[in-house]
Amino acid sequence: MALFETLTAGKLEDEPLFRRPDGSAWYRVALVRAMRAACAAAKVRPAATFHVLRHTYASHLVQGGVPLIFVADALSHSDARMVSKHYGHLAPSHVADAIRAALPSFSGASATEKVTDLRAQGRPEFEPPPAPAGPG
């Protein structure tokens, strides 16, 4: 926050925050060229774009558990529908986590450990009952 307070101090609302070394404003073409040059220098292939950075930012926020409505606000969306559609699958499942945390421990095993499928071992007592015969 202090960075933006410093950058905006004494500037008009429509005045650019960032200027090029020659004092001129950054424009889209110059930003794209600068990003390509930075990616080339860092050997990032394929080159990242600002749109990719935006997706990465949103993905990290959602994976970190930030509520979707807050992510939507950070991306300047009016509501969380688009964020939910594109990033919702990345959100941690708090419901599943809460259920797993509340499950009892059986024989010292945790709910997250791999469970053996007894049906796969040919144990008939664990086979599902046969389906009822249809009309015929």
Q: Using the structure block, give the residue that is written with the tokens 């889209």.
A: 28
Task: Give 99's strand partners.
Answer: none
Phi, psi dihedrals of residue 11, rounded to the nearest 5°: -100, 150
| The residue type at 93 | S
- Helix (H/G/I), strand (E/B), else coil: 106: strand
Contact 58, 68 (CB under 8 A): no
Structural domain of 80:
49-99
Confidence of residue 84 (pLDDT cuts 50, 70, 90): very high
Specify the number of domains making up the chain.
2
Taking alpha carbons only, the member of 59, 66, 65, 67 closest to residue 97 is 65
Same-domain check for residues 62 and 93:
yes
pLDDT at 28: 85
Same-domain check for residues 41 and 56:
no
Percent of the chain with pLDDT over 70: 79
Rounded to an integer, what distance in angstroms lies between the CA atom of residue 80 and that of residue 69? 5
pLDDT at 59: 94
Same-domain check for residues 71 and 44:
no
Confidence of residue 116 (pLDDT cuts 50, 70, 90): low
